Amino acid sequence: MPVPDLPPEFEVGERGAGSRVRLRAAAELVDGVEAFKRGDYLRAERSFRVADEARLGLGSFGVGVICEQRGDVVEAVEAFERAGALGFARAYAELGRIVRGQGDEHAAERMFRRGIALGDATSALRLARMLIARGDYAGAVEPARTAQRLGQEHGASLVGVALWRAGDTTAAREVLARGAADGDGSAARLLGMLLRSTGHASAALKAFARADELGDADGAFQYALALSLHGHLGRAGAALVRADSLGSADAAIAVAEASEQRGDIDAALAAYQRAAERGNKLAHAHVDRLRRR
């Protein structure tokens, strides 16, 4: 998983420190954030270490981020542990991520739950996703709801997936419908998939249209497929182009195939390249094939 960005709390700094040392450390912390943003990681690290030594949790977290960026995971873990001990909740999300990557999901769960206890939405999100991946859908519902309550983006989608996989399609539909109404494109897409799976094709089409409207790339692709199945081929083509422009790898593959069928090899090659850049592994073979022609 990628090294985390510095969280929004860094914008605030810790200006209320009482001693001169802590005030200086708080000023260094602000300077470190600015240095980090402009890519001056050596300067950022120096500033974060001053704040870390003054026992400012944000500074310890910053040291952890910098250390992990350069591949020093051991020191990163130590820094994140200091940050967590000082009450910086996001540190537990990163500790959980690291130990999960090392194969210890039980330790990861402990770290995520510590973060949740301190009110960290990222910890709740990661725990819910880990439990879903493990197949513990019922267990994922609570942390998913916590992530949603704490304002995590696409929280409704996560709750909906957990409920759906746990077998409570009625509750999942309600949660996803609220998320779609509130502007969550992924919730609208998942609602469409749920409705389609339960035989409500017309309602699914409307949900996919909402996902398309909200700019969800995969939702726009599903909308194109649904329109095609309903016989609206012209509108389906337009939705497919939108989905491709929004970043859907599946849509790029479909555009490539259509372009190749009509003999436009340059357009097909460009579309396959987009799909490859978006992570579609099969697209690489198509790029190589067309380049050999």
Cα angle 200, 139, 125 (rounded to 5 degrees) comes to: 85
**Residue 27 confidence (pLDDT):** 79
Mean pLDDT across 192-217: 97
User: What are phi and psi for residue 136, nearest 5 degrees?
Assistant: -90, 75
Mean pLDDT, residues 181-206 taken together: 97
Tokens 């609570």 found at: 142
- Residue 236's pLDDT is 96
Element (H, E) at 19: none
pLDDT at 56: 87
Residues in Cβ contact with 70 at an 8 Å cutoff, skipping those fewer than 6 apart: 41
Cβ(249)–Cβ(275) below 8 Å: yes
Residue-wise pLDDT for 143-187, tens only, equals 999 999 999 988 999 999 999 999 999 999 999 999 999 999 999
E strand or H helix at 199: none
By percentage, how much of the chain surpasses pLDDT 70? 92
For the chain, give the longest Cα–Cα distance: 73
User: DSSP of 90-105, one letter per residue?
Assistant: HHHHHHHHHHHHTT-H
Over range 199-224, report the average pLDDT.
97
pLDDT at 15: 42
pLDDT at 2: 42
Residue 289 has pLDDT above 60, yes or no: yes
Is 70 exceeded by the pLDDT of residue 7? no
User: Which band of pLDDT confidence, cut at 50, 70 and 90, is reported for residue 226?
Assistant: very high
Here the tokens at position 216 are 């969800």
Alpha carbons within 13 angstroms on the beta-carbon side of residue 292 total 6
pLDDT band at 32 (very low <50, low <70, confident <90, very high): confident
> Considering the chain, what percentage of its residues have pLDDT values greater than 90?
82
Q: Indicate whether 5 pLDDT > 90.
A: no
Q: Give the tens place of pLDDT for each residue, 36-56.
A: 888 999 999 999 998 898 888
Burial status of residue 133 (CB atoms within 10 A of its CB: 0-12, 13-18, 19 or more) = exposed
Query: In the predicted model, what is the mean pLDDT of the chain?
Result: 91
Mean pLDDT within 123-152: 96
| 3-state SS, residue 29 | helix
Confidence of residue 22 (pLDDT cuts 50, 70, 90): low
Model-wide pTM > 0.75: yes
- Model pLDDT, residue 14: 42
CA distance 260 to 263: 5
Confidence of residue 29 (pLDDT cuts 50, 70, 90): confident
- Please, are residues 65 and 87 in contact by the beta-carbon 8 Å criterion? no
The single-letter DSSP state of residue 13 is -
Across 16-20, 61-65, 74-78, 188-192, least confident range? 16-20
Query: Strand, helix or coil at 233?
Result: helix
Tell me the per-residue pLDDT of 240-263, one tens digit each, with 9 for 90 and over: 999 999 999 999 999 999 999 999
Confidence of residue 8 (pLDDT cuts 50, 70, 90): low
**The pLDDT of residue 230:** 93
